[in-house]
Chains A and B, each alone.
Chain A
């Protein structure tokens, strides 16, 4: 079992729709969770981070964390073609190391 798992996609959504990206992790001691966006050929860029159970909203982005289910998600409302990228879930566990998933490729079509 991988430490951080994501569906590789592609996830295709129409412009204006809600994109839902999901991530599960195996280390129950994980304390902090991050979503990075990576455009093709570019470096990862931090979108959101979350530490507590529940929802955290920032503009069109909402991160959701459920530690009991070891599940973290990212919702993108009013998706735009410019949101088309790979979204990397990263988890910091007890070793303080940041573990990345393989990423989910999102495609937003007009």
Chain B
């Protein structure tokens, strides 16, 4: 079974440019997460989707970040315009909903963003 697929793996852009990341979750997983991981830190949640609905986006900087999950499967995270401080790894994860405490998240390989 394929895992969580993310693309691109690496992205280098200049500041003020837009950038987008794509995620395809594990088949059948209706919960999808986007995390930000800075060097030497643990992942921090940006947004969580249950199917198409964003149920927790409290940590998403909405002035420059946006996300969508059309049809409840693939998701795209966008930054516009990018700032130097956005350089980090963006991780996507997915899980089965409705499992309560047994909800286990599986991570994709991540996209490493460098903003110059």
Q: Is B106 an interface residue (CB 8 A)?
A: yes
The reply to whether B105 and A43 form a contact with Cβ atoms under 8 Å apart is no
Do A98 and B105 form a contact, CB below 8 Å, given A43-B91, A43-B110? Answer: yes
C-alpha gap A88/B45 in the complex (Å): 14
Q: Which residue of A lies closest to B41 (CB)?
A: A102
A31 B42 Cβ-Cβ under 8 A: no
With A43-B108, A97-B56 as contacts: A92 and B41 at CB distance below 8 Å: no
Instruction: List residues of chain B with CB within 8 A of the CB of A45.
Output: 107
- Are A46 and B104 neighbours in the complex by a CB distance under 8 Å? yes
* A13–B109 CA distance with the chains assembled, in angstroms: 28
Q: Sort chain B's interface into a size bin.
A: 20 to 34
Give Cα distance in the complex from A90 to B110, angstroms.
18
For A4, what are the chain B residues with a Cβ–Cβ distance below 8 Å? 42
Q: Report A45 CB to chain B, min CB distance, Å.
A: 7
A-B contact pairs, 23 of them (CB 8 A): A8-B40, A31-B100, A32-B101, A32-B102, A32-B103, A34-B104, A36-B107, A43-B91, A43-B107, A43-B109, A44-B43, A44-B91, A45-B107, A49-B102, A51-B101, A51-B102, A88-B43, A97-B48, A100-B42, A100-B43, A100-B44, A102-B40, A102-B41
Q: A36-B107, A44-B91, A44-B107 are in contact. List 17 more A-B contacts (CB 8 A).
A: A4-B42, A32-B102, A42-B109, A43-B107, A46-B104, A88-B42, A90-B42, A92-B101, A96-B103, A97-B48, A98-B105, A100-B42, A100-B43, A101-B42, A102-B41, A103-B40, A103-B42
Q: Which residues of B contact A (CB under 8 A)?
A: 40-45, 48, 56, 91, 100-110
Interface residues of A (CB under 8 A from B): 4, 8, 31-32, 34, 36, 42-46, 49, 51, 88, 90, 92, 96-98, 100-103
